[in-house]
Structure 1
């Protein structure tokens, strides 16, 4: 399409990454076949450009797509190494290729129109939404679902980044344990301001994703990530002479208590990170993205507006804000914080909390396992900061780095 009459559709999807791919699959799964759909994205997504990891019970929809899953995971600190049994949950790894392939099949069955160009202008008059694409195309939609990375409405009280680099390593001989993943390994050198850890997600005894992650306010250089990864490889006792780097993954995920408006205008709904799917305190995104996609598809199948519920309860966003503040101000150390969570709670409770699906009673138990004084100090500081925010003009939010991905890495945690 180029300069011509607008294309009239019921639903326009802006962006074609993880959130949009999950949505297309959900629409197909729920037999939403009577809608006119347009996809506006400059890239046709395919192949392995990212990895998601999440926990949950066996899932008939996702299980056929998984690269691996583990019933046991390891959490390590300089003092000890703890093996956690996740029963009845499991930790699972999903690469993007199968997700994109399923989305392409769904797109074909849904007879969606694809415009391979960026959406440059979106105008919502409250009745319909006009989308102008970079190739001159114009789409007129009843609803727009926008999964493109967008900045928050205003700067957060705390703004960190989860940034990481991973090597997919192939070994000459068996060196990995395919029955156990390393979830968080805090034996890595800790940055002056922030948290670092490594993890290992084995697909077989000779092939695994080995990754270095930081939670901190600023990014490293390429050389910095490679140096940290090489040091972590050596810490694991892996001989570089017997290893080959088959793929490299990079990513940046916002960790902030800033709000991402999920519905900026009446008929525009945001999904993925820009729609609040990223958990501020961990960077986890995939499970919330999947829930959003399923809720939107169910709503459309029932003839309701395609508006999902909030990705996380308000009380979880408050707890995340307090935790981020405590970490940022040095009230608690990251390794100690996560170590106490896993030490004083069943693994299932911690994982469900990090996924945003715990009950208030479970959350009280989680809070009681943290150091009391630093968290009280962070709570008081957060309350004072919120009051100041109400009394002063809106501060512009910082731009999200170009490397931001829509799904979380394999944790702690897109």
Structure 2
């Protein structure tokens, strides 16, 4: 059977696109196939993001949200109100169920559990371990093969991983404040050529996700993540009696390289399209905006599928990646200086790419100057 559209990968990008195609009546007389090797029945990840309250966010399966955040560095410990923003958390399993339940009600959508092994643009075919599927219009690709990651080893570009290991823990005593979360705690050992920090997302006084995160070129062995996370919980949080409810272990590529460019009818989405912001690793809101752009393009027939980005903020990301990747300054020095000398709401506005040039300059004036001047020169010339 030949489908009108095929989506490869039922992660955040693939499921969001399928959901919005249904919501926007793009499948009234067309059909869609989604292929993923996983049934999407486990809570394998958590998505967090900040936003001003919007109607569509209220429809999402938000598990928790906060209006106050804590940021810690070597010599500061700040609690701040996030207005006009709120910080939201969505459990992976909740989002999968939320979208899949909607898709199951539409007879034009088919979900097949299988592993994609290759794609053929000329034949408009997708090969899997079990079969071959064909499409008429577009194949939206959200996964990547190992050789596509290897191709990012470009000496003119910067590539690091955001890798993290977390436990959702339950304590016997009340140890958490569910009204505020820890956005970034840099009171942890530094990592060379990157950034290390921990954060907590409390659900109640006794339950919280505690995660140890690194931005670096080198991945760790699982035992190292466990050691540092355990030490953070027991030494920094001073919690010794707890139960591990869930484990989260993942990595996200952060780069100023483009993963995969459009190849005629093969359209990259998600991480492949650049929806992961290189300087932060956040992707939920950028992914949603890209999906909206794709949907509008499908409705209008414009084929404008490439992620729209600000060249100004793209350059900022490249400079920061340069500083971290080359070790011109430590991650703790860079981020510690920014978060200590700026209001968190202003930094969130900046990271959302909503600030004007004057606001940008004020923020840039709070980071170590010479490392960034050198990085700017290298990126320009």
The runs of at least 4 consecutive aligned structure 1 residues that moved more than 6 Å come to none
Matched with 1:353 is 350
Shift of residue 341, structure 1, vs aligned partner: 2.1
Equivalent residues in 2 for 1:33-48 (5 A)? 33-34=27-28, 35-48=30-43
Does the 8 Å contact 2:258/2:273 carry over to 1? Answer: no
Residue 68 in structure 1 maps to residue 64 in structure 2: yes
Does the 8 Å contact 1:262/1:276 carry over to 2? Answer: no
Deviating more after overlay: 191-200 vs 110-119: 110-119
Does the 8 Å contact 2:140/2:266 carry over to 1? Answer: yes
Q: 1:28 to 1:59 in 2, by over 3 A?
A: farther
Matched with 2:8 is 14
| Structure 2 residues not aligned, in runs of 5+ | none
Residue 138 in structure 1 maps to residue 133 in structure 2: yes
SS of 1:138 mapped into structure 2: strand
Q: 1:240 to 1:26 in 2, by over 3 A?
A: same
Q: 1:368 to 1:199 in 2, by over 3 A?
A: same
SS of 1:65 mapped into structure 2: coil
Equivalent residues in 2 for 1:100-115 (5 A)? 100-110=96-106, 111-115=108-112
- Of the three residues 328, 334, 339, the one matched with 1:337 is 334
Shift of residue 214, structure 1, vs aligned partner: 1.1
Q: 1:306 to 1:258 in 2, by over 3 A?
A: closer
Does the 8 Å contact 1:164/1:213 carry over to 2? Answer: yes
Matched with 1:250 is 249
Shift of residue 303, structure 1, vs aligned partner: 4.4
Larger RCO: 1 or 2 (CA < 8 Å, sep 6+): 1
SS of 1:188 mapped into structure 2: coil
Matched with 1:28 is 22
Does the 8 Å contact 2:273/2:307 carry over to 1? Answer: no
- Of the three residues 36, 52, 58, the one matched with 1:57 is 52
Matched with 1:272 is 270
How far apart in 1 are the matches of 2:79 and 2:85? 14
C-alpha RMSD of matched pairs (Å): 2.0
Deviating more after overlay: 185-194 vs 339-348: 339-348
Shift of residue 44, structure 1, vs aligned partner: 1.9
Equivalent residues in 2 for 1:6-405 (5 A)? 7-34=1-28, 35-63=30-58, 64-110=60-106, 111-125=108-122, 129-150=124-145, 151=148, 154-156=152-154, 157-241=157-241, 243-263=242-262, 265-305=263-303, 307-310=305-308, 312-384=309-381
How far apart in 2 are the matches of 1:139 and 1:306? 23
How far apart in 2 are the matches of 1:198 and 1:85? 20
| Structure 1 residues not aligned, in runs of 5+ | 1-6, 385-414
Q: 1:105 to 1:147 in 2, by over 3 A?
A: same
Q: For residues 54-78 of structure 1, give each alpha carbon's deviation from its aligned partner in whole angstroms, at most 9, with x where no partner exists.
A: 0001233333411111111011012
Shift of residue 95, structure 1, vs aligned partner: 0.7
- The number of residues matched between the two structures is 373
Q: 1:262 to 1:287 in 2, by over 3 A?
A: farther
Q: For residues 357-404 of structure 1, give each alpha carbon's deviation from its aligned partner in whole angstroms, at most 9, with x where no partner exists.
A: 4444433333232222211111122334xxxxxxxxxxxxxxxxxxxx
SS of 2:56 mapped into structure 1: coil
Does the 8 Å contact 2:70/2:80 carry over to 1? Answer: yes
Q: For residues 74-98 of structure 1, give each alpha carbon's deviation from its aligned partner in whole angstroms, at most 9, with x where no partner exists.
A: 1101211011211000111111122
